[in-house]
Homo-oligomer: A and B are copies of this chain.
Amino acid sequence: MRGTMATIRDVADRAGVAPMTVSRVLNNPDSVSPKTRSRVEAVIAELKYVPNMIGQTLRTNRTMVIALVVADISNPFAIQQIRSVGDTARRDGYTVLFTHTEASEENELTQLRALVQRRVDGIVLAPVTNRPDSVDFVQGQGLPISVIGYPMPGNDVDVVRCDTGTASRQLTDYLLGLGHKRLAMLSGPSEIVSALERTDGFISALRGAGLSPVALRNAPFTVEGGYQMALSVLGGHDRPSAMVTANNFIAIGAAKAARELGMRVPEDVSIATFDNARSDSVLDPFFTGIIQPAAEMAELATGMLLGRLAGDEDGPGREIILPTRFEVHDSTAPPPAAN
């Protein structure tokens, strides 16, 4: 079956013209006489000819493909990013090649290498960590890249992100304002910057109120991780009345653990989280928390990349920090009277 696909030459022969004329009909129809054009178009339809972009690419050195590389596809953010990058890129005629890295740095470099081999025109990266290697590699190949979500202190690169450290203080301050004095932080892996940022913000807010954390835990950004951390924290003798969780999966796991221990959310324990899932996909509980504008971040990052591809922009990397949104929902309340 393969190899039967019509080529520009097949069309040309059958229409009695040169391949170049067919090319013109495709790319610059006005430069061909109406008569010739309609004859060629008829043959194109007849042979079901679809131009081979591989040929074009080799000639023009542009694939018109950009890649989106996302660390963790199961995070609801990923969906918004895929949508957003795709929509933005399409407007400029680009197709998006999507890959995910299973949150492994090694995997990330492997994927990036594969993308360079395929000569994508640029890359939008939502990276695993903020180590400079991945960006270095891509830039070393002369490819433009922009990064979503992390500060990249070791690279000169376009970045779009939020300041989740400050947001973490805001979230913690809200719980303090409700009267909580015994707070725990359930964070992500300690080697991941966003987890660190969030823990730091938490601690600094407590310090500002003259308090110390009841517990600081680290685990993977998963339901299971949240569940285990919450079990150990809530099962001890020094129970917190409120927990801050570093992402939505941890929050869900923590709520599960609380429920299993016979505690109600928020009556017995409050949970405030980052990266609250959208109300569209989760009914209950709908968590109080910090929401990052994932779609806007992705759109801006893509826009910056497209700008460089179009040659509109060729200065040093810029960092754009977008504001987060704080939403109060059903998972937080003042501490129980006993506390």
Contact = CB atoms under 8 A, between A and B. Distances in A.
A252 interface: yes
Interface in A167-202: none
Interface string A249-261: 1001001100000
A196 to B, nearest CB: 25
Interface string A30-71: 000000000000000000101111110110010101000000
A108 to B, nearest CB: 14
Contacts of A113: 50
A58 B48 contact: no
A144 interface: yes
Contacts of A78: 79
A302 B60 CA distance: 32
A116 interface: yes
A83 B79 contact: no
Interface residues of A, number: 54
Contact of A283 (B73, B142, B255): B255
A118 B95 contact: yes
Contacts of A282: 252, 281-283
Contact of A256 (B48, B51, B255, B283): B283
B284 A144 contact: no
Contacts of A91: none
Contact of A141 (B50, B63, B65): B50
Interface stretch (A1-9, A10-18, A318-326): A1-9
Contacts of A140: 48
Contacts of A283: 252, 255-256, 282, 284-285
Given A95-B97, A249-B280, 6 more contacts: A50-B113, A54-B54, A74-B281, A82-B100, A252-B282, A281-B281
Interface of A: 1-5, 48, 50-55, 57-58, 61, 63, 65, 73-74, 78-79, 82-83, 86, 95-100, 113-114, 116-119, 121, 140-144, 223, 249, 252, 255-256, 277, 280-285
